[in-house]
A and B are shown apart, each in its own frame.
Chain A
Amino acid sequence: MNYRTRVIAAMLLAAVLRPAAAADLNVFACEPEWAALTQELAGDHADITTATTARQDPHHIQARPSLIARLRRADLVVCSGAGLEIGWLPMLQRQSGNAAVQDGRPGLFDAAMQVDRLEIPASADRAMGDVHPEGNPHVQMDPRRIAAIASALTARLKQIDPAHAADYDARGADFGKRWQAAIKRWEAEAEPLRGVRVVVHHRSWSYLFDWLGIEQAGELEPKPGVPPGAGHLAELKAELAAKPAKMVIYAAYQDNRAADWLARETGIPAVELPFTVGGTEAAKDLFGLYDDTLNRMLQALHESH
């Protein structure tokens, strides 16, 4: 075999097998918000793959072969944790043969476990629906918690890839500065939302409400994870007649029919929110996620007056 045929053969083999790209770190992010955060903090040092899209419900993902193949090569897995991925991530971990990302290893980073969580139940009973004993895992809609998670993730990146520790420190500091400035701006913009009553589809927005002082006026799901039914919606409508809300919100991946029904019946706007990066056109990164969320809610508040 001469040199040229050998090169062509190698290229063909490479095209078939497509081995791992040559970034310093292979990162497997369970949800788009953690892919976006890792992108901010690791930049070119990380080759990031995202397991789910904003159109998918992170509670309900299949342990697909493609995800096993991607987890197999991951140096770092960044997930919400707190039970959100319990229906699929453990299966990927066990089938991947990747020691670095097993429970308790530095290669597994659970974002929600880095901060204090809301709604930790005193007891967990499935009669209450799909509750997580670890508390509500949807922490990405509180920017103060994102800041805390970013510091922890920077520390983790340095631990796994110490050769670039200085870079991670610099990127972390830069992100922290931009993020704190943005938080100030968002808090000022969101002032009109303080104390506003909002109906939610699923208990996905507790952290946003905790941050901005928004009051949850009701849930379209009768119990977490149980789809909205006619009886529960009628009750909710009656409650809202006595104590009105300003809007009903749902995530991009959720069915909008229940929210639209409630909007028609009560005259309050139904608002689709990105919930994660990529959930709407404008939510291109973490900053866009918050910008667009607040824009849409403020717009709805304006309409409902």
Chain B
Amino acid sequence: MKHRPLLVMAACAMPACAATTLAAAAGSNAFNPDIALILTGTYAGIQHDPAGYAIPGFPLADETGPGERGFQLGESELSLSANIDPDWYGVLTYAIAGDNTAGVENAYVQSSSLGHGLTVRAGRFFSAIGYLNEQHAHTWDFVDTALAYRAFLGNQFGDDGVQLRWVAPTDLYMEFGAEWLRGDAFPAGGSADNGRGAWSVFFHAGDDVGESDSWRAGLSWLSAKSADRITTSPAGDDSFTGDSTLAIADFVWKWAPEGNNYDRNFKLQAEYLLRNDDGEFTPAAGSASPLNSDANGWYLQGVYQFVHGWRVGLRHDRLCADDPGAAFAGTVLDTQGHTPSRNSIMLDYAGSEFSRLRLQYNHDESGVVADNQWFLQYQMSLGAHGAHQF
């Protein structure tokens, strides 16, 4: 027993041996990509008919309301990923919606061998602006995204293009990045400038404070051109041609006693978004008029895990738009003197890292009439266990 030889011990003085033994054990399917399937389903109890949903003052992209009433699939996702070769990594994520349509949410390749802190990405991906934008729906802490993301980014801004990131060689985490995108997704539209209609720059910094605390902060800038961007409101289709610019400041603080988040942890998260639309707006029942308007929005949320598996969360959302003037009275841009806001409370339970059940209540005053919304949701993860971003 004491002198039982360790089989791999002698051979494994050679560094290459780990890879060869593993490949031999796994056989010919060793090169198959990792497959991750997210199954999500929601029951929504919404007091006012969501078909009539509008945020006065804000043109909304498709499918950005509170969702449908009753039982629904939500966004289930199928994701395939693998190292392509020593130089590239690739991901494809299909999002399956409740109405039996599937859309390519992410399909990109990313460099892994440039070194010097540089990473290049090309394809379709969620932009790295803000904090919440890059996070997939199954990692959100609430059933729905922040109101400011709904109003300014069509829930989540993803487009076709290229991205470059650079991490500085410093103790303080500092990341600089830029993206050049097609401009086919809200707040851009119509693939302006020959399919190069949007660009962004972003900066992230972060560090630990002692063993228990860590933070990340970011600043982002998105410039999006629109050539006949169509948005839908209860009154019909609106069109915008011009430039949207969006500035985002984001901040996340996480706490866990001695850095051990297994039993208790806390996450505080806030973002502020500031947007300018400059161009020509054609409301559903009206004629084109010049528009130059500012709007801003923010949210603050805290999520506390009080015992392993159980979390409670609170969120406050607020939006504010300029009054665009008499030319737009009665259109989707008319704020009607209303300041949209929403309060949410959430309780969720994760029986394991792979399953989560969530109950959420929204008191939603984003529309002129206050709405009460209840959600019951499951989120299950099958297959490869993807690592999550901070």
Interface set of A (CB-CB < 8 Å, partner B): 16-20, 52-53, 55-57, 60-66, 68-70, 72-73, 81, 86-91, 93-100, 102-106, 109-110, 113-116, 126, 129-130, 134, 144-145, 148, 151-152, 155-156, 159, 187, 213, 225-227, 253, 255
Contacts and interface: CB of A to CB of B under 8 A. Distances in A.
B202 to A, nearest CB: 13
Given A99-B113, A114-B18, 20 more contacts: A53-B211, A55-B260, A57-B262, A62-B214, A62-B254, A62-B390, A66-B171, A66-B173, A69-B173, A86-B385, A86-B387, A97-B114, A97-B116, A114-B8, A114-B12, A116-B6, A130-B352, A148-B8, A155-B14, A227-B308
Nearest to A103: B83
Interface string B1-30: 110001111001111011101100000000
Nearest to A57: B262
Task: Output the residue of A66, A93, A109, A155 with the most chain B CB within 10 A.
Answer: A66
B15 A152 contact: yes
Contact of A115 (B9, B263, B308): B9
Given A72-B169, A98-B117, A213-B1, A106 B15 contact: yes
A148 B6 contact: yes
B118 A97 contact: yes
B261 interface: yes
Contact of B119 (A64, A66, A97, A155): A97
B15 A156 contact: yes
B234 interface: no
Contacts of A100: 115
Nearest to B216: A65
A52 B118 CA distance: 25
B115 A94 contact: no
8 cross-chain pairs, A with B, having the tightest CB-CB distances, nearest first: A65-B206, A65-B173, A99-B115, A113-B18, A69-B173, A148-B9, A91-B387, A97-B117
Nearest to B91: A94
Given A65-B207, A69-B173, A253 B12 contact: no
Interface in B155-204: 165-175, 204
Contacts of B8: 114-116, 148
Given A66-B208, A97-B166, A53 B15 contact: no
Interface residues of B, number: 65
Given A53-B258, A65-B205, A65-B216, A97 B167 contact: yes
A102 B112 contact: yes
B36 to A, nearest CB: 12
Interface in B337-356: 352-354
A17 B167 contact: no
A55 B258 contact: yes
Nearest to A91: B387
Nearest to B257: A55
Contacts of A73: 169
Given A159-B15, A255-B263, A19 B110 contact: no
A16 B259 CA distance: 25
B389 interface: yes
Task: Output the residue of B86, B168, B261, B387 with the most chain A CB within 10 A.
Answer: B387
B382 to A, nearest CB: 8
Contact of A152 (B12, B117, B173, B390): B12
A196 to B, nearest CB: 15
Contact of A69 (B21, B115, B172, B309): B172
A209 to B, nearest CB: 12
B259 A53 contact: yes
